[in-house]
Structure 1
Amino acid sequence: MKSILVLHAHPAPRHSNANTDLAKVAQEVEGVTFVDLYARYPRFKINIDKEQEQLLAHDVIIFQFPLMWYSTPSLLKEWQDLVLEYGFAYGEGGTALAGKCLLPVVSVGGPQTAYAPQGNNNFELPSFLSPLQQTANLCSMRYVSPFTLFASLRARNDGRLAQHTTQYRRLLEALRDDEFDFESAKQLPILTAENISSVAGEKK
């Protein structure tokens, strides 16, 4: 059984339209360690040793966050800057994270059509998350395409949030039980509630 670390970063959870429900799911799944970074570090004083110890103790690392100004929330970026040190995560002797999995779980306010060359945001979502993919590459980690909820502000009212949380649980359990198809997932630039069944099921 794989161990999973979910690093949840939402600067204003009381205004969350989706991440609160996703956080509840993550906390319910056996084998998942859930960390609310903004609750743990309200003044951004990150305990580097503690965070590195948690990384060493887990096989799968999940960054769960709302996309904010086309990037991660500021505390998660600060976490990356401080915790992923040279000699630990990369560089000479920096092999601590080699072979581990990095998966972004992202909520996005706009619809998927807005994240296209012809859309309001001009680029597809993976382009905005490419720094995370390259971080995984530099740290010799296995990067998984982001599990994404588009139009998250409307997801509860139109019924999509319930489906998304159900499929998030399925994703976590598949990763935990070594039933996630990494090779098939490479062919999908984005994981969604609609396509997760093609990669998260019984191990072939």
Structure 2
Amino acid sequence: MKTLVIAAHPNMEGSLVNRTWMNRLEGEENVTVHNLYAAYPDGKISAEREQELLLAHDRIVFQFPLYWYSSPALLKEWQDVVLAYGWAYGSEGTKLHGKEFMLAISTGGPEEAYQAGGYNQYSLNELLKPFQATANLTGMRYLPVFKTQGVRVLSEEEVKASAEALVNHIKTTF
């Protein structure tokens, strides 16, 4: 199974967790890591190039830090440009049907902050429903989310362990 990891962090070098995840995944066989902000520093996304990448892979992973209860802006722009009507959805938009889709999310806040009655009032799964809806609309199978929460207080060893856990999660057959 060929996996495409679309890593989206506006300051990848400044992110210990997302940078560690990305660097660890780059060494894996059958895994293509695509650093969105490095590929498009001007923010102008090539739909054709991105669609070719999607077609060449079986499993698509969005890797990002949770920003304002969603993805960083360039990943949202990527969705708007690449997942076009007639290509990714609509009566003729079947190009992604049968592919698998997964999220790899990091949050600064701890897990208990993301639940009813917690600081953010909603669970992470509730906040990620638009991504699940995207998978449904485009005919992809939504796989369990990989998450590492409370990243602000993780030790370097814990970050490395989360990277290994991410590799295992991505390579798991669901």
SS of the residue 2:16 aligns to: coil
Cα deviation code 1:63-114 (max 9, x no counterpart): 0000011100000000000100011100021100001011000000000000
Cα distance in 2, alignment partners of residues 67 and 161 from structure 1 = 17
Cα distance in 2, alignment partners of residues 35 and 118 from structure 1 = 37
Partner of 1:146 in structure 2? 145
* TM-aligned CA deviation for residue 164 of structure 1: 1.1
* TM-aligned CA deviation for residue 144 of structure 1: 1.1
- Which of these residues, 138, 157, 166, is aligned with residue 168 of structure 1? 166
* TM-aligned CA deviation for residue 17 of structure 1: 2.6
Partner of 2:103 in structure 1? 104
TM-score (norm 1): 0.83
1:25–1:168: 8 Å Cα contact kept in structure 2? no
Cα distance in 2, alignment partners of residues 173 and 29 from structure 1 = 10
Does 2:85 correspond to 1:92? no
User: In the comparison of the two structures, how many residue pairs are matched?
Assistant: 174
Does 2:171 correspond to 1:155? no
What percentage of aligned pairs have identical amino acids?
43
* TM-aligned CA deviation for residue 33 of structure 1: 0.8
Structure 2 unmatched ranges of 5 or more: none
Cα distance in 1, alignment partners of residues 31 and 93 from structure 2 = 25
SS of the residue 2:112 aligns to: helix
TM-score (norm 2): 0.96
Cα distance in 1, alignment partners of residues 63 and 124 from structure 2 = 15
Partner of 1:52 in structure 2? 51
* TM-aligned CA deviation for residue 173 of structure 1: 3.0
* TM-aligned CA deviation for residue 128 of structure 1: 1.1
Which deviates the most, 81-90 or 148-157?
148-157
Structure 1 unmatched ranges of 5 or more: 175-179, 183-204
* TM-aligned CA deviation for residue 162 of structure 1: 2.3
List structure 1 runs of 4+ shifted beyond 4 angstroms: none
1:13–1:19: 8 Å Cα contact kept in structure 2? yes
Cα distance in 2, alignment partners of residues 129 and 73 from structure 1 = 13
The aligned amino acid for 1:125 is L
Does 2:13 correspond to 1:14? yes
Cα distance in 2, alignment partners of residues 104 and 172 from structure 1 = 10
Cα distance in 2, alignment partners of residues 7 and 145 from structure 1 = 17
Partner of 1:188 in structure 2? none
1:29–1:172: 8 Å Cα contact kept in structure 2? no
Cα distance in 2, alignment partners of residues 93 and 117 from structure 1 = 40
Partner of 2:112 in structure 1? 113
Cα distance in 1, alignment partners of residues 68 and 41 from structure 2 = 21
The aligned amino acid for 1:76 is L
1:29–1:173: 8 Å Cα contact kept in structure 2? no
